[in-house]
Amino acid sequence: MGKPGIAQKKGVMDIIKNWIAQNKQVWLTLYVPAYLTVFCLLQARQVPARTVHFALDYQIPFCEYFIIPYCTWYFLLIGVGLYTLLKDKNSFIKFMLFMIMGYTVCMFVYWVYPIAQDLRPAVFPRDNFCSKLVGLIYSMDPPFNILPSMHVVGSFMCAAAVANCPTVKKAVSKVLVSLLAVVISISTVFVKQHSVLDTAAAFALCVIIFFILYAPWTKAQRERISPPAQRNWLIGGIVGFAVSVLCIRFTLENLPL
């Protein structure tokens, strides 16, 4: 007679195996440990890095309170990832493809053109919980390999996934996630983790990936949406492309070459 504990454990394992067999998109999550490994290796290597010096960065004051939305980023990524994984297969696949495309581009840029910054304050103006949290983040994340900003890419990746997820019915939920993505992106420059150039480059990258993944490219996709929506996608594509070009040009013109 078998032990009840072993039988129960086997039953749980069978449930997990069956769920994975029916949701093969979960294997895309293997990209996460792969990219984290590559990023850590890039952070650990000893190579000369060009330092960003941009006038607008020195006009933006350090504000430790922005570390709260900055850290919210981690919960946003996990939350949106789990929600789309459990609720809508196509939304999760596009969420992961956005990550794979965006973060792979970031890794490649970090490898061929490492950028550093010296924007961090030598002394915090106030001693409080948020300042201590900023110090903790500083100790774990050295100020190089920063352009494009993965924080910005991840934020807009989540906003795009929620905005286009059919199981998210309430417009207010989509708006709130989009606003949170904007606030998180802004927080990166106020806690001096990133330069304005990092956010501009990341925004340009996000716009390009967004239209690759979400625009109605095929005839079947266009037939499922109204003519006004088609027109909006066309206008948005033109504007998005123009903004991307401007952001890329702005970034390149101010990079230390």
Tens digits of residue pLDDT in 144-167:
899 999 999 999 999 999 999 999
> How would you class 235 by CB atoms within 10 Å of its CB: exposed for 0-12, middle for 13-18, buried for 19 or more?
exposed
Mean pLDDT, rounded, for 193-209? 95
Tens digits of residue pLDDT in 50-89:
888 788 999 999 999 999 999 999 999 999 999 999 999 9
Residue 180 in contact with residue 127, Cβ under 8 Å? no
Query: Among 12-16, 204-208, 219-223, 242-246, whose mean pLDDT is lowest?
Result: 12-16
Mean pLDDT, rounded, for 215-238? 86
Tens digits of residue pLDDT in 13-50:
777 788 788 878 889 999 999 999 999 999 888 888 88
Residue 75 in contact with residue 186, Cβ under 8 Å? no
Mean pLDDT, rounded, for 208-235? 88
